[in-house]
Amino acid sequence: MKNSIHKSLSINTLQVENILKLFNLYDPRLEAKIRIVKAILMLGIAVPVWVATEVGAPQLVRAYTATGDIVIDRLSEETYQNMLTRAEVAARAAAQRTFDQDILITEVSVIVSGQNYGAIAPILELRVSRQQWRNRPDPKVWAKYFKTARSLLQFDSSVTQQPVPQPEPAPTPASPRNPN
């Protein structure tokens, strides 16, 4: 029953136009004015609503994690502890530089590997969020240290490795003598 009442109350534009014509109240100029007023009302409502949603709604921010790899070579006669300190300094510099260069980066992950006479192994991984780094920019706090790096880089071997000697070039043959 509710639907039948609703249907009987709905009137379309053509019906309104016919009723106005019936009572000699129809004026085509009036219809054009009504359309203009409807358009103005629609824009008057739609534009402020659109502006409010654009201003009020938070903008979509694409935050991401920056990753990087650093390889440091062992210096001659360098201890593992000194190499580890250099790895921390390199990781700290890389993290700070990355956060400074891009404000959308929310996390940095840096893996520092060491190289010793051809052997290469990860020494530490620094994974830190921007907020953590802002509160405490210390790689020792946020770094994960790889315990096997020391032995993989052959710091514990009793034999000190020497650089592989390069073979000497072969002597050039003497030019043949002219028997005459």
3-state secondary structure string across 67-120: EEEEEEECCCCCCHHHHHHHHHHHHHHHHHHHHHHCCCEEEEEEEEEEEECCEE
Task: Give per-residue pLDDT as tens, 76-98.
Answer: 899 999 999 999 999 999 999 99
**Residue 1 is assigned to a structural domain of this protein:** no
Give me the phi and psi of 6, to 5 degrees please: -60, -40
Residue pLDDT, tens place only, 113-125: 999 988 999 999 9
Please give the radius of gyration of the chain, using alpha carbons only, rounded to the nearest integer.
40
Angle at 163 between CA 162 and CA 168, to 5 degrees: 125
165 domain-assigned: no
| 4: in domain | no
0.95 exceeded by pTM = no
For residue 144, is it within any domain?
A: yes
Query: What 8-state DSSP symbol labels residue 137?
Result: -
CB 104 within 8 A of CB 63: yes
pLDDT in tens, 30-63: 667 777 777 776 777 777 777 777 776 666 666 7
Say yes or no to pLDDT of 14 above 70: no
117 lies in some domain: yes
Task: Quote the distance between the C-alpha of residue 151 and its chain's center.
Answer: 35
* Residue/partner pairs of 82-86 with CB below 8 Å, 24 or more apart: 83/114, 83/123, 83/153, 84/123, 84/124, 84/145
Q: Is residue 25 part of a domain?
A: yes
Residue 19 exposure: Cα atoms within 13 Å on the Cβ side: 6
**Domains contained in the chain, number:** 2
SS3 143: strand
Question: What six digits make up the tokens of 74?
Answer: 């062992």
Whether residue 83 is found in the same domain as residue 147 = yes
Asked if the structure places residue 2 within a domain, the reply is no
| Spatial distance between the Cα atoms of 135 and 145, rounded to a whole number of angstroms | 21
Mean of all residue pLDDT scores within the chain: 79
**40 residue type, one letter:** I
